[in-house]
Amino acid sequence: MLRILPIFTILAIVFLTACENDFSPKSDYEEQIVVFTVLDRSAAYQVVRLERTFDAESTNPDYPIIPGPVTDASVKISTSKKTYVFKDTLFTLGDGSQKKVWISWDIPVSEGVEYTVTVDVPGFERISALTQVPSRAYAQLEVANGAVRLTAVETTAYPASGYLFRMWVTGAKIVDGETVEVRREVPVRITASDEYEFSEPTRDKAVNFSTGNLMRIHSELREQDSAIVRDIVGVAYSLDQYIYSYYKLARGFDDPVSVRQDRPDISNIRNGVGIFGAVFPDSVRTRFSSVVLQ
């Protein structure tokens, strides 16, 4: 007599048999070059940083693997009209150590222009990435409801994926017989434990800085820096899609359609990993007294 097993019994047998095979979601490790650079019109020079990846699974937390630095590389950034060759330079970091980076003093950063970075490292395939600089944010300051509102006027030519708003209170003091400008950044909020929290990238086109926070920074400039307070400076940065996505997915998720779609890696680098992005800042300056003390 043929006996038919219940379907759940068959599934249990299949499941238990399958469990005998080891499964690991980790693929074979392959060393890659990490490229990180952000084109910024306000910077005196443009910087390309290069690193090597390492196999985290084989690392002892007590004795972590420190990948060897990239010391030999050819770095270029091109537009449709010209190619700019970057030169390797040793920078001294805050802890006194030195880090090799690649810089260019000559490359202009213009809105709407597409830039391509190419990196050649011996032993690796050519690495490349493309980005387009977003349009200027056209920053504006206005007083509204007990706050100074910093606004970005959006343009449709090369729209930004997000914005970053920052504000400083500036002053002047005498140092070695010369007048120099000093500044302190204004937080968007001050917590109950007296910690300053500064602005983050956002899709909103405006951020409010309370007059209370501005007065707090005003007092710090006068009392701690011995400076005469003069101006408020606001900067609105237009962010391209790569910088905005990298920040939001690395530091805090932002999903405009309320359905999370995870991405395992945040990278636009071909034959490597990392980020090649662009920001375009616009600043506005006004007298502190004309805005806060009116």
* Rounded Cα distance, 291 and 294, in Å: 6
Tokens of 80: 């449709």
Q: What is the pLDDT of residue 187?
A: 96
- Mean pLDDT per block of 10 residues along the chain (294 residues) reads 50 49 57 92 94 71 70 95 95 84 95 96 95 94 89 88 95 91 95 93 93 94 93 95 82 49 67 94 92 70
Q: What is the pLDDT of residue 294?
A: 58
* Rounded Cα distance, 135 and 166, in Å: 18
Query: By three-state DSSP, how is residue 200 classified?
Result: coil
Q: What is the pLDDT of residue 27?
A: 56
* Rounded Cα distance, 42 and 59, in Å: 39
Q: What is the pLDDT of residue 245?
A: 86
Q: What is the pLDDT of residue 13?
A: 47
Please report, as a single letter, which amino acid is at residue 214. Answer: L
Are 205 and 154 a contacting pair, CB within 8 Å? yes
Q: What is the pLDDT of residue 15?
A: 47
Going by the DSSP 8-state scheme, the letter that residue 247 receives in this structure is H
Tokens of 21: 């095979």
Q: What are the φ and ψ backbone dihedral angles of 119, each rounded to 5 degrees?
A: -130, 125
Q: What is the pLDDT of residue 96?
A: 81
Q: What is the pLDDT of residue 78?
A: 97
Are 198 and 190 a contacting pair, CB within 8 Å? no
Q: What is the pLDDT of residue 30?
A: 75
